[in-house]
Amino acid sequence: MIDPLPRYGLVLDGAEVASGAWMDVTDPATGLAFAQVAAATAADVSQAVNSARAAVVGWRVTPPLERGQAIARFARALDAEAGRIAELIHREEGKPLGEAQAEVARACEVVHHFAAEAERVWTTFLPAGGQGRGSEIRPDGIGVVAAITPWNFPVALVIWKLAPALAAGCCVVVKPAQEAPLAARAVCELANRSGLPPGVVNCVTGDGPSVGKALATHPGVDKVAFTGSRRVAEIIAGWASPRLKALSLELGGHGPLVVLDDADLDVAVDVAISQGYANAGQACYSVNRVLVPRALERAFVERFRTRMADVVLGPMATDRGLVRHRDLLADARAHGAQVEGGDDLDGSRVAPALVTGAGPGVRLVDEEPFTPIVAVMPYKDVPEAIAEANRPDYGLVGYVCGQDLRRAADVAHAIECGTVVINGWRVVVPYAPYSGWRGSGIGCELGRPGLEAFIRWQHVRVLA
Ligand code: NAD
């Protein structure tokens, strides 16, 4: 007899709860199911939201210092279980183990950061006339947050919402992507095991159109914090607006790397390789277009090609990704662009691709590829490079390489992206905001603004 697959229930009100149905979780490397998670019903979603609503009454008035201590315990629990959580990511999403470990390590840093930030959610008082009269200006948690997240960074993108929301005094219902729900669910379970009061962190697993919809439209949700595709963001924004829910949307990007004529080409190639092919290109911060001065194009491409030969990618997380990779490269060829690499390897993996000779009108330089494709595009002068960097309707992460840091910073300021990295590739730090400009989203995560995104302000004016 074949052993049944391990099953993981919903996380509701501090307990693990089964639902009426189960969904398979598959390993993208083999295409085989290795576990099952509960497929939540609308009633389960309501129960999760209601338990968060009940919990938020106490959590929002828990003194910030105590909230900070509770979040710090959660951070330590996550540190202790980091290896297990990384294994889950590796298995369900296909990310190489080292990348999965790095994702969890960075996520732990974010929780530690917001544990400390929780203590700095200050109330201020401006006296006017003595005897307790004046203005009390107090931050209050926005309430119950629905965190709806994608599969490509299944833990990081939950933590970017969960940690600041908890610090602000909110309670959260997490809805991870159905393709990779286990690690996110395990994080929510850990939050409960580390001693957060029941109902403060809940997790409902299931698909987008039913579970995601039930959560995003639930009247008990005050804010929807969404990361994912533009298509789904527009649907969610459509639901949120008549209900006047607060909303943050973190969407895809089309990362430009502007290589200036004084750039160290080895650094530029390093940035393009590491950010072009991280997570098999399935990253919102990917480098998708490398803009190089015409005179340096050949030297850049030669060095890039040498480095690309050594890149080994993990499996694509979904069959959709495999098909998309093929389609984008076919479209580029049909437009006369040159494609190197990019072959299908073993049914789940693809080779990284380098594309030259692609311009506007070719899909992969107009639309977020979300597969391991880097296009190299020559430019005549810096204004032309900046115009190309800002051409597609995305504005998440851009990159600049150049040794004159003042000029590089001027170029960074002209790139319409929420984040621009100069001469390197570590994009995210807990203390700085991460935000999508233009078609890449609304609102921001991380940093002080990422904490204030979960706060509403109250002015109590004591007149007499
Ligand atoms: P997706 O939009 O398909 O899914 C995201 C989440 O929304 C999942 O949990 C899904 O189940 C849910 N969902 C799907 N349909 C829904 C519906 N009708 N109603 C409610 N919820 C629904 O995105 P994806 O394919 O999982 O992720 C890829 C996208 O995410 C890419 O565009 C990528 O660039 C973007 N992304 C952005 C960031 C960022 O921080 N800006 C980070 C990572 C990924």
CATH of the domain at 186: 3.40.605.10
Residue of the CA atom closest to atom 28 of ligand 1 = 228
Tell me which residue range forms the domain holding 318: 255-429
Largest CA distance in the chain: 80
Candidates 23, 148, 210, 427: which one to mutate for ligand 1, based on the most atoms within 8 Å of Cβ?
148
Q: Is the dihedral of CA 174, 398, 436, 231 positive or negative?
A: negative
Same domain as 180, residue 100: yes
Residues 204 and 75 in one domain: yes
Q: Is 204 in the pocket of ligand 1 (CB under 6 A)?
A: no
Q: Is residue 434 part of a domain?
A: no
Alpha carbons 27 and 35: distance in angstroms, whole number: 9
Please indicate whether residue 218, judged by its CB atom, sits closer than 6 Å to ligand 1.
no
- pLDDT score at 1: 62
Report which ligand 1 atom has the smallest distance to the Cα of 396: 41
Would you say residue 2 lies in a domain? no
Out of 149, 229, 236, 396, mutate this one to test ligand 1's pocket (max ligand atoms within 8 Å of CB): namely 229
Q: How far apart are CA 249 and CA 26, in angstroms?
A: 27
Q: Are residues 185 and 47 in the same domain?
A: yes
Rounded to whole angstroms, the Cα distance separating 362 from 144 reads 42
Same-domain pairing of 412 and 317: yes
Query: Do 183 and 270 lie in a common domain?
Result: no
Q: Tell me, yes or no, whether 99 and 191 share the same domain.
A: yes
Q: Are 274 and 98 in contact (CB under 8 A)?
A: no
Q: Is residue 423 domain-shared with residue 331, that is, in the same domain?
A: yes
From CA 421, how far away is CA 255, in angstroms rounded? 11
One pLDDT digit (tens) per residue for the chain, 464 residues = 677 899 999 999 999 999 889 999 999 999 999 999 999 999 999 999 999 999 999 999 999 999 999 999 999 999 999 999 999 999 999 999 999 999 999 999 999 999 999 999 999 999 998 889 999 999 999 999 999 999 999 999 999 999 999 999 999 999 999 999 999 999 999 999 999 999 999 999 999 999 999 999 999 999 999 999 999 999 999 998 898 999 999 999 999 999 999 999 999 999 999 999 999 999 999 999 999 999 999 999 999 999 999 999 999 999 999 999 999 999 999 999 999 999 999 889 999 999 999 999 999 999 999 999 999 999 999 999 999 999 999 999 999 999 999 999 999 999 999 999 999 999 999 999 999 999 999 999 999 999 999 999 999 999 98
For residue 46, the CA-to-ligand 1 centroid distance in Å is 22
Among 45, 117, 71, 449, which Cα is nearest to 250's?
449
Q: Please check whether residues 173 and 116 belong to one and the same domain.
A: yes
- Rounded CA-CA distance 271/287 in Å is 8
pTM over 0.85: yes
Q: What is the CATH number of the domain that holds 274?
A: 3.40.309.10
Residue by residue, DSSP assigns 244-291 as T-EEEEE----EEEEE-TT--HHHHHHHHHHHHHGGGG--TT-EEEEE
Q: Assess if residue 308 is contained within a domain.
A: yes
The number of folded domains in the chain is 2
CB 229 less than 6 A from any atom of ligand 1: yes
Q: What angle, rounded to 10 degrees, do the helices at 64-80 and 156-168 form?
A: 160
Instruction: Indicate if 365 and 295 belong to the same structural domain.
Output: yes
448 and 354, same domain (yes or no): no
| Residues 293 and 195 placed together within one structural domain of the fold | no
* CB 14 less than 6 A from any atom of ligand 1: no
Tracing tokens 């007499």 back to the chain, one arrives at: 464
Question: Does the CB atom of residue 370 touch ligand 1 within 6 A?
Answer: yes
Q: What residue has token string 């570590």? A: 426
Nearest CA residue ID for atom 39, ligand 1: 250
Interacting residues of 257 by C-beta distance below 8 A, sequence separation 6+: 268, 271, 272, 275, 287, 289, 290, 291, 398, 399, 400, 401
In a domain, 1, yes or no: no
Is the domain of 67 the same as that of 129? yes
